[in-house]
Amino acid sequence: MKQSEIKELSVKDLQEKFKDLKKNYGDLKMAHTISPLENPIQLRALRRTVARIATEITKRAI
């Protein structure tokens, strides 16, 4: 998800997306621990998307 797409979402949508992506990231990380993923770059991309959303939520709170 690009930064421009994140800026268009409302605060409520951001919080829901954050919760879903964070859970998805945890599940993917656990699956990677058990057996290696075909594409481990997914972890990095998902982690960065979660960070982008968290940053946008913090930015709007200020």
pLDDT value for 20: 97
pTM (predicted TM-score):
0.87
d(CA 14, CA 20): 10
**CA proximity to 13, closest of 23, 5, 26, 46:** 5
Residues 6+ apart with CB under 8 A from 54: 18
The alpha-helical segments, DSSP class H, found in 1-62 are: 3-8, 11-34, 41-61
Q: What is the mean pLDDT of each run of 10 residues along the chain (62 residues)?
A: 89 95 95 92 95 94 88
Give the domain ranges of the chain: 3-61
So what's the pLDDT on residue 16? 96
